Chain A
Amino acid sequence: MSTYAAAKVVAAREIRVKLRDKTFIFSTVFFLLFAIAVTVLPVLFSGGATTVAVADQATATRLQQQEDLEVRVVASDAAAEQLVRDGDVDAAVVSGPEVIAMSDRPGDVVNALSTQPPVRLLDVDAVDPFLAYIVPFALAFVFFFTSFLFGLQIAQSVTEEKQTRIVEILVASVPTRALLAGKVAALTLLAFAQVALIAIVTLIGARLAGLDRGVLHLLQPTIGWFVAFFLIGFVMLAALWAGVGALASRPEDLNSSSQPVQMAVMLPFFAVIFFGENDLAMRVFSYIPFSAPTAMPTRIFNGDAALWEPFVSLGIMAVTAAALLAVGARVYEGSLLRTNGKTSWATAWRSRTTV
């Protein structure tokens, strides 16, 4: 049997086991809810037309021209005020004109009645501040958690095979490369499927929630690029996760042996969260392979990235991924059969025991 065929058998088992795994099911459901919440909730909260009671017909006609106002024409100012007091309407316009509301200043009603100076926008792409904050956060969050969860599962699955000692039977049956490739491929596929599902749900959710057309126009390429960056970004670390999994021979050792890889996922997450507003920092982050999966899509969303930039960044990531795959594979092979305690990176790097 070829290494490729063996890797496929290994991958099929990993996928079958994970699809029955509660962690996997839970994280998928959680992220889907998260995606729906991020896209739909803001629209729901801001949405819902303001109801306004009016007695004067001319004012009513003027207010009715506003899409987001629901106008109720009443007999008198007193009746209008009573409706506000009863909570049946959000606001009332009485003669004066005077706007009445309970506790919140009804800004949209006031705006509708005011004369506003013309506005000329110089940077039409500028994004709603709420979205400008939530989109990088959501990208960083999804990348961090998915990459971390699935990466950790690669490591755990390797450690489990070491701890239960089945690894020796496996290594005697198929090349270690096939074991590694099968695991990495299976978990990458699952992580990618999860992220792609979230991306699709987000886009559909955004459309259904009636998100602004301009925002959708920005969101689509952002999410498209994010999925591509996620894929390379995950594969980049996958073999390292397997390597640190093999360094530990018990689950208890995994936390300390996987520390360096955990950092490689965690530090960029916080960096992008804290420096999201800083253009220069984000420009730098978008080329560092570990932070690029979050930083570059954010810049694309903000309209700051030139067309060629994501390609260059992806290229850098691909090269890094190739190098780290080799490192991870070597550490994995060097420590897989050392079942006595924790193996050091140096020992694993030096020893290539298997045929």
Chain B
Amino acid sequence: MSRTHSRADFPSVEGMLNVESVSRSFGDRAVLRDVTFPVGSGKLTGFVGANGAGKTTTMRIILGVLAADSGEVTLEGRPLTREIRQRFGYMPEERGLYPKMTVHDQVVYLGRLHGLSSSAAEDRTTKLLERLGLGERAGEKLEKLSLGNQQRAQVAAALVHDPEVLVLDEPFSGLDPIAVETMVDVLRDRASSGVPVLFSSHQLELVERLCDDLVIIADGSIRAAGDRNALRAQHALPRYQLVVDTDAGWLRDQPGVTLLDLEGPRAVFDLDPGSDDQKVLLAALERGPVRSFGPVVPSLTEIFREVVR
């Protein structure tokens, strides 16, 4: 089943940052095939895919850490250059800072590498560490910090230069629940100031809760991309759930209904194309009170399973 999308599949979502027909191979192995998707300004875009699907490679290409074999990445229509990328913030999947340098010093250093002046880097580092709750630890060596605080230092390293685009590879992996909430706040805060934020994650529930847009990748090609709710609607099956007071077994005999699951008064069923859901509801009401009736909206996990199949 080929579900490779071309740009024409989602013409309405033209992002601020656009990945356009990017392909990349390592040796004989094609890792990315004609990858195209937008990352909207001021939106949280979740990037989902199995291990080895091509998420990290895509992100590295956006950051210029890897070169694309073909295709390009643009910001507001302009191809990315070293100067533009310097204003990006990046958190790689494999985290790391200098263990023997103080938190303050290395955040300043990374700020300077992103083009900040010495005084601006000092200034922003102090403020940022304060905001992330690391103000008192700023003068300590990184290796002396707890794991949670090291993660915060890593966030500070990605944000110190007030990036115009934020790309985070698995920002939630290894975080404790409190740190996850801090990270969520940081991402929302960045996005609300108009920054396009792209992040990958294995935690589909978290992505579902958090993101505005979704990009699903499998085997190096994009299987779905776009607004989360639109994707849900697009992938919604003609599936319904009905809850009545008595046994709902009578649904079996209803025309156009394929019963999937029945637990006494609760039933989940699919409707054949062309069948009217309201007729089923009327039939149920004739037999007694209806407690609940409605379409089953697919969860991200279900959409994911379906599109990568």
Contacts and interface: CB of A to CB of B under 8 A. Distances in A.
B199 interface: no
- In this complex, the member of A161, A164, A172 whose beta carbon has the largest number of chain B beta carbons within 10 angstroms is A172
Interface in B108-125: 109-110, 112-115
Contact of A169 (B64, B86, B92): B92
Interface residues of A, number: 25
B96 interface: yes
A353 B69 CA distance: 10
B88 interface: yes
Contact of A337 (B65, B96, B109): B65
B64 to A, nearest CB: 4
Given A1-B115, A173-B86, A354 B66 contact: yes
Interface in B94-110: 94-101, 109-110
B109 A13 contact: yes
A354 B65 contact: yes
B187 interface: no
Contact of B99 (A10, A164, A171): A164
B96 A354 contact: no
B88 A172 contact: yes
Given A6-B113, A355-B67, A1 B98 contact: no
Contacts of A353: 66-67
Contact of B110 (A168, A169, A355): A169
B98 A164 contact: yes
B76 to A, nearest CB: 19
Nearest to B106: A166
A299 to B, nearest CB: 43
A172 B93 CA distance: 13
22 contacts: A1-B86, A1-B115, A17-B100, A17-B101, A161-B98, A165-B92, A167-B96, A168-B65, A168-B92, A168-B96, A169-B96, A169-B97, A169-B110, A170-B113, A172-B64, A172-B85, A173-B114, A174-B86, A175-B82, A337-B66, A354-B67, A355-B82
Interface of B: 60, 63-67, 82, 85-86, 88, 90-92, 94-101, 109-110, 112-115, 157-158
Given A1-B115, A169-B158, 17 more contacts: A160-B98, A164-B97, A164-B99, A165-B92, A168-B92, A168-B94, A169-B92, A169-B110, A171-B65, A172-B90, A172-B92, A173-B86, A174-B86, A174-B113, A175-B82, A337-B65, A354-B65
